[in-house]
Amino acid sequence: MNSPSSSLPDSFGSQAITPPTSSATRPFYWSVRRELWEYRSIYIAPLAAAGVAMFGFLISLISLPRTVQAMAALDPAQQHKALAHPYDMVAGLIMMAAFIVSIFYSLDALYGERRDRSILFWKSLPVSDLTTVLAKASIPMVILQLLSFAIAAATLWIMLLLSSAVVLGSGGSVAAYWGRLSLFRMLLMLLYHLVTVHMLWYAPLYAWLILVSAWARRTPFLWAVLPPFAIAIFEKIAFRSSHFTALLQYRIGVRQAVGSMQDNFPIQPGMPLAAGRFLSSPGLWTGLIVAAIFIAAAVRLRHYREPI
């Protein structure tokens, strides 16, 4: 009498025994995707700013031929400044929109999920608090900055093509117009500004806001602003000094990151990059260490915080 075989087909057995493999970065990737799905202002606000700026630029194209003709008597530096001014304004508007979104997103990153009690659902998933907090911190520190640069670059290129068509239609030289404008260097300086200032130099600011978002039970904006303000006032009254205020001004300012510059946004060709001095500055590394401490504290708080 033949006994039933207990052996399974090789393919079936291998599928049953071998556990499904998943990348270690997959939870982080999907956590970032979740933030992009939930917070549409991350990309809507920079796009809206680009749309408003583009509309204003289209109106300014009416006077562009006269502007190009009037610049013939100017030196090359003045010609570039006159042509690059609208591009500087558009890039600055997009960057400002992204910065404002970064501030409000950081304040609501961990506070919002406790307010709407969705934290109970997200904690039931096999995603650690560290992965969740790092994914949320990457939005203002990395994702928003790269997204704003991509939107700004696309907008500036569209502006260049439209203005080139106007110059060509008025009988001007497109090659001379491109040479005076130096868009490639402007984009390089814009990317440098975003990486040095908004990604690295402002990292402690975003980390502090995320920490407050994980701790506050209500009005996280006030809890983010009032303690530094109170410390500055206490120091001024008790010790008649302003060291903490000077520290805040040093951290919020951008001169320390981009060197000496005349404008708020280092996208002028003549502005120095000063990357070596920036990367070797103690203020940068001290700020990154402080940011890491704030993020670690936010991870700890998220682990123990309950819904509001």
More confident residue, 290 or 277: 290
Q: How confident is the model over 35-63, as a mean pLDDT?
A: 91
DSSP for 274-304, please give it: -HHHHHT-HHHHHHHHHHHHHHHHHHHHHHH
pLDDT of residue 10: 47
Residue type, 301: L
Rounded to the nearest 10 degrees, the angle between the axes of helix 174-181 and helix 76-108 is: 60
Residue 69 has a pLDDT of 73
Q: For residue 130, what pLDDT is reported?
A: 93
Segment 51-67 shows an average pLDDT of 85
Q: Is 273 helix (H, G, I), strand (E, B) or coil?
A: coil
Q: What is the DSSP letter of 19?
A: P
Secondary structure of residue 1 in the 3-state scheme: coil
Residue 254 is predicted with a pLDDT of 57
Q: What is the pLDDT of residues 94-106, one digit of tens each?
A: 999 999 999 999 9
Instruction: Name the pLDDT band for 20 (thresholds 50, 70, 90).
Output: very low
Intra-chain end-to-end CA distance of the chain, in Å: 69
Top-confidence range, 32-36, 73-77, 147-151: 147-151
Mean per-residue pLDDT over the chain, rounded: 83
pLDDT above 90 (res 178): no
Global pTM reads 0.82
Q: CA angle 86-89-95, nearest 5°?
A: 145
pLDDT tens figures, 68-77: 777 666 677 7
Tens of pLDDT, residue by residue over 259-289, are 433 344 444 434 445 677 778 888 889 999 9
pLDDT at 83: 81
Cβ–Cβ under 8 Å, residues 164 and 177: yes
The pLDDT-based confidence of 32 (bands split at 50, 70, 90) is very high
Q: How far apart are CA 12 and CA 8, in angstroms?
A: 7
10 Å CB burial of residue 96 (0-12, 13-18, 19+) is middle
User: What pLDDT score was predicted for residue 270?
Assistant: 40
Beta-carbon count within 10 A of 79 CB: 21
Using only C-alpha atoms, what is the Rg of the chain? 26
Can you give the pLDDT at residue 282? 87
pLDDT at 24: 65
φ and ψ at residue 171, rounded to 5 degrees:
90, 10
